[in-house]
Structure 1
Amino acid sequence: MEIQKNLIKLNQNFQTKEEAIEFCGELLVAGGHVTPDYIPAMLQRNEELSVYMGNFIAIPHGTDAAKKEVLKTGIAIVQVPRGVNFGTEKDPKVATVLFGIAGIGNEHLELIQKISIFCADVDNVVKIADAQTVEEIANFFEN
């Protein structure tokens, strides 16, 4: 899993899950991974099925129909120390780490699988959430 350090952002703060998803999408656009049309598809994907995965992580990604907007596989990692609620007021699902992904073909499934395996250990999520530098986060995935 290739990590681009310019797509890792520390200490972000969002009022809404939509704002958080758009931020991840904008990073993927800036990195040359997707066209701007991928961002609405990321929001639509979360409406259809929450991108919250448990263990304080969310994996915003586009719909299947938006695959044509993916230029190259990429991942944005966003640290949200205060968390952002992907649930409801009555049933909060707070994410402190966001992985915005876009994959060519079935590569997005591989990305989700790798992230899920790594984050199945909540200690790994805490390490990312507590990381003080971009390099620290990048090093977790360079193996």
Structure 2
Amino acid sequence: MNENVLDQSQIVSAGSASTKEEAIREAGAILLEVGAVTDGYLAFMLEREAMTSTYMGNFLAIPHGTNEGKDTILRSALSFVRYAAPIDWDGNEVRFVVGIAGKEGGHMDILSKIAIIFSDEHEVQKLLDADSAATMLELLGDVNE
């Protein structure tokens, strides 16, 4: 079994969503596709978003499930979707949606690594300019350490 939380197959360089809900579904579908979550996890992602926005700043949103949904997480993993056109996320522009599933509290370490990358505007610009999923994975590689 793969121990990385993010592989190239979990990165979409040109997402198709145009609304917040569609983007959450797109990020959740990747987590489901790689076997990190059961199909029930998406409902918990949408429920979390209804409770509080997962917008983080610097064009980033990190949708994730509620505590009640932890039984639908099979392993820790990320999905990473970039959008050419900003998505309106409660009045904020989002260009990156990072879906997260953290098994047994593993999401806190992953979140901190994502936060470090996105706290640097130069790194965010590199992700905006990246020409492929492979390049984005290289820029995001620290999440797997």
**Same fold by TM-score, threshold 0.5 exceeded?**
yes
Provide, for residues 26-70 of structure 1, a one-character-per-residue CA deviation record: whole Å limited to 9, x for no partner. Answer: 000001000010001001101111010011100011011111100
CA RMSD of superposed structures (Å) = 1.2
CA distance in 2: counterparts of 1:129 and 1:41, whole angstroms: 29
User: Is 1:71 the equivalent of 2:78?
Assistant: no
Provide, for residues 78-125 of structure 1, a one-character-per-residue CA deviation record: whole Å limited to 9, x for no partner. Answer: 0111011111xxxx2011011111010111111111101110112211
Tell whether the 8 Å contact from 1:2 to 1:142 is kept in structure 2 after alignment.
Answer: no
Note the 1:3-14 alignment, pairs <5 A.
3-14=6-17
Q: By percentage of residues, which structure has more helix?
A: 2
Structure 2 residues not aligned, in runs of 5+: none
Structure 1 residues not aligned, in runs of 5+: none
**2:68 maps to amino acid:** A
SS of residue paired to 1:142: helix
Aligned length: 139
Note the 1:19-98 alignment, pairs <5 A.
19-87=22-90, 92-98=91-97
- C-alpha displacement at 1:141, in angstroms? 2.4
**Percentage of identical aligned residues:** 32
Q: Which runs of 4+ in 1 moved over 2 A?
A: none
User: What TM-score, normalized by structure 2, do the two folds share?
Assistant: 0.91
User: What TM-score, normalized by structure 1, do the two folds share?
Assistant: 0.92
